[in-house]
Amino acid sequence: MNVLLIGATGYAGSAILNELVSRGHSVTAVVRDVSKLQDSQFVKAVAGDATDPEALARLARGKDAVISAYNPGWKNPRLYEDTLENYPKIVEGVRSSGVKRLLIVGGAGTLFVKPGVRLVDTGTLPAEWLPGVKSLGEFYLNFLTKVKDVDWVFLSPAGNLGNLQKGVRTGKYRVGKDDMLFDEKGNSFISVEDYAVAMVDELEKPAHHYERFTVAY
């Protein structure tokens, strides 16, 4: 497949890029700095602003799908505002391009840890994470769920996505919907490599449409 990938040099995006390439997919990677990513047989890095709908539409046109691992930067003082302002622009760009499938690297913040209680409301998350967690959750709940003309999917990771470091690819995971998945020890975990496996599995064999799902061990 021919895929446009936004955020290919980030934590989740780079794992997704590796998984796409390992399966022989052709990837056009939209990055801020092309020097951070080398072109190869399956990868073409292009400098572009994914939050410019017209520019994104031009880059996406003719692709089979768009995968977005967009993040304005965890240290960005406007992380909350930029996420809420820019993610709708990405959806608009995909819509204008004519590409029907949009897969989004979601967050775990809006997953329910028990009936009626979302992770973001438990008070257990570090304060410095909250702008990113809250904004991505609000984008999903208040904007994305109302989009009916782009076939989107929002993939929420487990509560712990690989301890924010490289891990092991097992190719195995469990699938859930809106409730956080826990193992028998009460942990909610998946490596970023297996999160990427789940994302590319969904790309190749779409099983979710206009909805969120989650994966964990």
For 107-129, how does the pLDDT look when each residue is reduced to its tens digit (9 = 90+)?
Answer: 999 999 999 999 999 999 999 99
pLDDT tens per residue, range 136-145 = 999 999 999 9
**pTM, full prediction:** 0.96
Q: Residue 4's closest CA among 28, 23, 24, 33?
A: 28
Q: Which of 3-17, 33-47, 190-204 has the lowest mean pLDDT?
A: 33-47
pLDDT tens per residue, range 31-74 = 888 888 988 999 999 999 999 999 999 999 999 999 999 999 98
64 CB burial (10 A radius; 0-12, 13-18, 19+): middle
Which element (helix H / strand E) includes 5? strand 2-6
pLDDT at 36: 87
Distance of CA 97 to the CA centre of its chain: 19
pLDDT at 96: 98
Rg (CA), the chain: 16
Q: How, if at all, do strands 2-6 and 26-31 pair?
A: parallel
CA distance 170 to 192: 11
CA distance 150 to 128: 32
What domains sit in the chain, N to C, each tagged with a CATH number? 2-216 (3.40.50.720)
Residue 79 has pLDDT above 90, yes or no: yes
